[in-house]
Amino acid sequence: MPDKDAGTPRVFLIRHGETEWTKSGQYTGRSDIPLTENGEKQVISSARLVVGPGKIINPSKITQLFISPRKRALRTYELLFDEAARHKFEGKVEITEDIREWDYGLYEGILPSEAKAGRKERGLDKGRPWNIWIDGCEEGESPKDIAGRLDRVIAKIREIQGPYMHGEKPVDVVIVAHGQILRAFARRWLGFEIGVKLPMMLEPGAVGVLSYEHHNVDEPAFLLGVNMAESEE
C-alpha cells in the first residue's frame, strides 16, 4: 500500500540531553545549565541512529532550524550534527528566545512538590490543584505568554512549508529546545490550547516528529510511527 503522505514536510522536535537538574527533577527555565557527560552521550547516540543520509533526519532536506539560546540546547545542536552539516546550515539557523524553555518564575530551580507547597503557604489553589498548563507560574510565564511566542514560530514554519506539501522541495524543519516547551509546542501545532489535557513524554536527547495529513498545511498532525530508514538523497 503506498504512503499517501510521502514527501510531506516534517518538523523534528529535539529535546536537549540530560543536565544535573533534569536528573533531580528541578524546574530549569532561564538557568543556563550544561549537559552532563551522560547527556552528551544521549545526544550522540540519537544522532548516530536518526541523523544522516537515508535516515529520518536527513541534513540535505533541512531548510530551517530553530534553536533555544540556552547552552544545553546549543550544545545538543553541535552534537547532533557534524561540522560538515553545520557548515551547510549557515543562514538556516535561527537562535530564538521564542523556543526557549518556559520561564518558571518563582519555581526556578525547585521541585514541583516544593512549588506546590509554596503556593499552598501563600493561600493559592484552594479550589483545585495547581496545573502549570492552566495556571502558569508566579512571576514567570502564563500559558497565554507561551502560546504567543510558540505561535510565532509555527507561523514561520507554515509559511516555509506550505507551498511544498507534495515534496516539490525538501523543507524539513528542526527545533532544538526543552521538554516542557516542546510539549507545549506540540499542543499549539495541533491547534489545541496550552491547557488541554494531552499527556506527552519526551526523554532527554529524544526526537519527536510532527507533520501534516493529506499533504495539507491546514491539517497538522503527530507522526506516531516513523520508518527508521525512509529518507533518500
Residues catalogued as catalytic: 16, 101
| 105 labeled binding residue | no
| 104 labeled binding residue | yes
| 103 labeled binding residue | yes
| 77 labeled binding residue | no
| 101 labeled binding residue | yes
Specify whether the CB–CB gap between 101 and 178 falls below 8 A: yes
| 128 labeled binding residue | no
Residue with cell 533518500: 232
Specify whether the CB–CB gap between 91 and 121 falls below 8 A: no
Q: CB neighbours of 2 closer than 8 A, spacing ≥ 6?
A: none
| 145 labeled binding residue | no
Binding site, by residue number, is 28-29, 72, 101-104
Binding site for substrate, by residue number, is 28-29, 72, 101-104
